[in-house]
Every structure is written in structure tokens, then in C-alpha cells.
Amino acid sequence: MSLTVQSALAALPLPREWTWQVVVRPRRRTLGIEIQEDGSVLFAVPSDADPHAVADAVRSRLPRLADEIERRRRGGGEPVKELVGGASFAYLGRRHRLRVVPAEPGGQVRLHQGWLELPDTGSPRQGASLIAEWYIARGSRWAAARVAPLAERTGVTPGAVTVRDLGARWGACEPDGSIALHWALMQLPPSLVDLVLVHELTHLKVSAHGAAFRHRMRMVLEDLESLERRFAEAEPMLWRGAV
């Protein structure tokens, strides 16, 4: 654990009732903030983190952190879905109703005539896994095409762009320049997925979340603050596979 980073965060006006800890993750390049279901906060930092830069980044996010922690403590945890006919699932901002169809060997989820068709496996957990795999496959193709113009405007050349389960994170920028998005983001309108993509692309130029970082993001996304507000409103409602 980085005692210097912990000391820098302890000097911030963090509410006394917050439970938080700092962990060092050598593979990280930037600060990561993970809010657990019980409202506790984990600050994940790279081994060479600048304590002052970390403190500045956390300070800038305090209002949004406070809102999310309060929501988690009130019991507003991860949304749960019942995999029954007529249930609503979104893809890139458009909603589709679920249709459970007879299972066939090798059957997969597909979007057919406006319906999201799910093979009846008899297991909600397996059904949720199939839907997640559908989001991953379809989202990967979309993100691979979407990232090119955004990368050009950001002035970077990223590595591979993948869509997968990132746990508590929505996006990740790896040391080799590859970008990853959480599959649950594919439920959002494209403009909000762009927000996460540009965030990770900008990390290829600027590691810390400071004024220079936000300036570069705003050069690509002129309505940055509006997009961030919309994302903060939509994020709690994203389904991540709970059934």
C-alpha cells in the first residue's frame, strides 16, 4: 500500500463515514476508483503514482462519488432482470423486447425482427451469460469501427479494442495501447459510449486526470460536461448480468 497516496487522500475533505482503502496495482497506468456494493471505496493506483495528482483527481470527483456511495448504501445496487418474454433490453440506446425460443444445439442470442431472441436453457444464469456474450460479440464489432475516427481526432493510434467484462470498471487502457470497454456499455446511446472511448484514448496521451486531460477530451467532445451528466444518470441503470 502507498502510504504517501493514503496520506494525500486522508488530507482531503472525505466524509468521516466513508470506508476506503488504497491498493497499488503495478499494471495500472492511472487512478482507478471502485465503489463496492456496500458503499466502500477502493482507490487503485499505479506503483509510481503521484500522490498530489491522485488527490487532485479524487477531489474533482467528490460530488459524483458522494452521490454514488449514497445510492449504494440505500440499497440501489446492481439492477436485476428476469429473463422472461417481454423483458426490455437496450442495445446502443434502442430497446428490444426479449423472446425466449426453444433451445437448439449451438443456439445463440440474436436480434431478429426487433426481438432479442434467447434460447431457453432452463437456467437464468446461463441465459444471462448468453446475453452477455451477445453484447460482447456485437459490441466488439461496433467498437472496432467506432474507435477509428475518435482516435484520429484524439491524435493517438490505439492497439486492439475489445469489449468484455471489466468488473467494476467501465473502461481500461492497457500499457500496450489496447483499449477495453465493459460489455454493459453497449446498452447506452453511442454518444455515451464515445465518452468512455475518448476517456481511454486520451490516456494514451495524458495519464493523470487533470486540466490537460480534460482539455484534450473537450477538444474531441465539445459537450463533455453534458455527456458526463447524462452518463452519471444512466450508469446506475446498466444491467451487468444479475438475474
Alpha helices (H) along the chain:
3-10, 51-73, 124-154, 190-202, 211-220, 224-234
66 against 163, higher pLDDT: 163
3-class secondary structure, 82? coil
Write down the pLDDT at residue 76. 57
**Mean per-residue pLDDT over the chain, rounded:** 90
Domain parsing of the chain, residue ranges: 3-73, 88-237
Residue 1, pLDDT > 70, answer no
| 60, 209 contact by CB (below 8 A) | yes
Residue range 23-37, pLDDT digits in tens: 888 877 778 787 776
The pTM for the full model equals 0.72
Please state the rounded mean pLDDT for residues 156-174: 93
Instruction: Name the maximum alpha-carbon separation found in the chain.
Output: 59
For Cα atoms 234, 35, 166, give the angle at the middle one, nearest 5 degrees. 70
Residue 2, pLDDT > 70, answer no
Residues 6, 26: Cα–Cα separation, whole Å: 16
Residue range 24-70, pLDDT digits in tens: 888 777 787 877 767 788 888 888 889 998 999 899 888 878 887 88
Residues 158, 152: Cα–Cα separation, whole Å: 10
List strands edge to edge, sheet with 20-24.
Answer: 20-24, 41-45, 32-35
Pairing of strands 41-45, 32-35: antiparallel
- Beta carbons within 10 angstroms of residue 126's beta carbon: 14
| 217, 224 contact by CB (below 8 A) | yes
Q: Taking the CA of residue 15 as centre, how many other CA atoms within 13 Å lie in the half-sphere pointing to its CB? A: 13
Write down the pLDDT at residue 77. 60
Q: Which residue's C-alpha cell is 482539455? A: 215
**For residue 236, what is the DSSP state?**
G
Cell of 128: 444471462
- What does 169-229 look like in DSSP terms, one character per residue? -SEEE-TTS-EEEEGGGGGS-HHHHHHHHHHHHHTTT--S-SHHHHHHHHHH-TTHHHHHH
Residue 85, pLDDT > 50, answer yes
Q: 88-237: CATH homologous superfamily?
A: Metalloproteases ("zincins"), catalytic domain (3.30.2010.10)
Residue range 191-243, pLDDT digits in tens: 999 999 999 999 999 988 888 999 999 999 999 999 999 998 898 889 999 88
- Beta carbons within 10 angstroms of residue 222's beta carbon: 9
